[in-house]
Amino acid sequence: MSKKILIADDEPDIVRMLVSRLSAANYDVEVAYDGYSVIKKARETAPDLILMDYMMPAGNGVTTYDNLQKLGKLSLIPVIFITAAPTEELKQKVLSMGAVDLVPKPFDPVELMEKIKKVIGD
């Protein structure tokens, strides 16, 4: 059975690239474009991993992650943050909240795939 990954990003080009790479690697992929949709899709699909942009409409990544943490089983879903505004302070903040990692944009797709495989496998 394929692992499910929820991509949470409002940038269409990044979403397309991630969907293409993840689908080619045999992951089932779902997409959400804002914080509200992340919660809704996570409830509907119970993904094995969420790749979440830090800056999104309708709830930034940290607020959305904090809301996921309050929702029982959804709090167990690993999250890798992706952001165009990486700082060491932000990285420490999301890691202290329980996120798996913070990846800066632009990111190396091969490195991101390695991180994903490390977290949830093939």
pLDDT per residue as tens digits for the range 91-122: 998 999 999 999 998 899 999 999 999 999 87
Relative to beta strand 49-53, strand 4-8 is: parallel
Query: Residue 72's pLDDT band (boundaries 50, 70, 90)?
Result: confident
What is the helix (H) or strand (E) element at residue 7, kind and residue range? strand 4-8
Q: Report the alpha-carbon distance of residue 43 to residue 68 in Å, rounded.
A: 10
Say whether pLDDT at 59 is over 80. no
- Average pLDDT (17-32) is 96
**Average pLDDT value over all residues in the chain:** 91
Domain count, the chain: 1
In the block, tokens 């269409």 appear at: 12
CATH code (residue 37): 3.40.50.2300
Q: Residue 55 sits in which domain range?
A: 4-120
Q: In whole angstroms, how far apart are CA 108 and each of 6, 56, 113, 118?
A: 19, 21, 9, 16
**Which are the contacts of 36, defined by CB distance < 8 A and separation ≥ 6?**
58, 59
